[in-house]
Structure 1
Amino acid sequence: MAKAYWVATYRTISNPDALAAYAKLSGPAIAAAGGRILARGLPAHVYEAGLPQRTVLIEFDSVEQARAAHDSPAYQDALAVLAGGAERDIRIVESV
């Protein structure tokens, strides 16, 4: 089974306090679902049409595990805390 990567980019962060509260809940929720945060923060460098946006990269053992983590009650609680505090783009990509 191929690993999967959850890639989140933050287009805007309008409420840093909501983001901090989200981080306190989301990290444990993701870890409990089998996710491993590999990288987070601003890019060290961007190329081509890249944007200097906060990016988070999380590894899972499968696409199904990543989807289950996102849909879990614990992660949904974290999302409720973030509501309106940031505009994000989340993608789940299967490894090759």
Structure 2
Amino acid sequence: MPKGYWVSVYRTISDPEKLVAYNKLAGPAARAGGGQTLVRGGRVAAYDAGIAERTVLVEFDSFEKAVATYESAAYQEALVALSDGVERDFRIVEGVD
């Protein structure tokens, strides 16, 4: 069964304190859903008009687990803490088998 991934690329971080509050809640919520953070920040080389900002990649056992974790009460609480503190592109994708 293909794995599922949260892929998040931050365009701007306008309120670092909200990002810190989000991180305190989002990490445990992702781990509770079986998520493993593979990339969080670090160095970025952006090409083809890409954005060299914060990138996060979280792996789950399946696409369905990734979606269920996103929809969980714990992760929704993290999103409330984040609110308008960042502008990001967040998507859930299915890996290849």
TM-score interval (norm. to shorter)? over 0.9
1:57, CA displacement in angstroms? 0.3
Q: TM-score, normalised by structure 2?
A: 0.93
* Contact persistence 1:19–1:82 (CA under 8 A): yes
* Contact persistence 2:11–2:86 (CA under 8 A): yes
> Higher mean Cα deviation, 55-64 or 38-47?
38-47
* Contact persistence 1:43–1:55 (CA under 8 A): no
Structure 1 residue runs of 5 or longer lacking an equivalent are none
Give the distance between the partners of 2:46 and 2:12, measured in 1 at CA: 17
**CA RMSD in angstroms, aligned pairs only:** 1.1
Q: TM-score, normalised by structure 1?
A: 0.93
1:47-80 residue CA offsets vs partner (Å, 9 max, x unmatched): 2222101100000011110001100000000100
Number of residue pairs matched?
96
* Contact persistence 1:40–1:56 (CA under 8 A): yes
* Contact persistence 1:42–1:53 (CA under 8 A): no
Give the distance between the partners of 1:48 and 1:88, measured in 2 at CA: 18
Percentage of matched positions with identical amino acids:
57
Structure 2 residue runs of 5 or longer lacking an equivalent are none
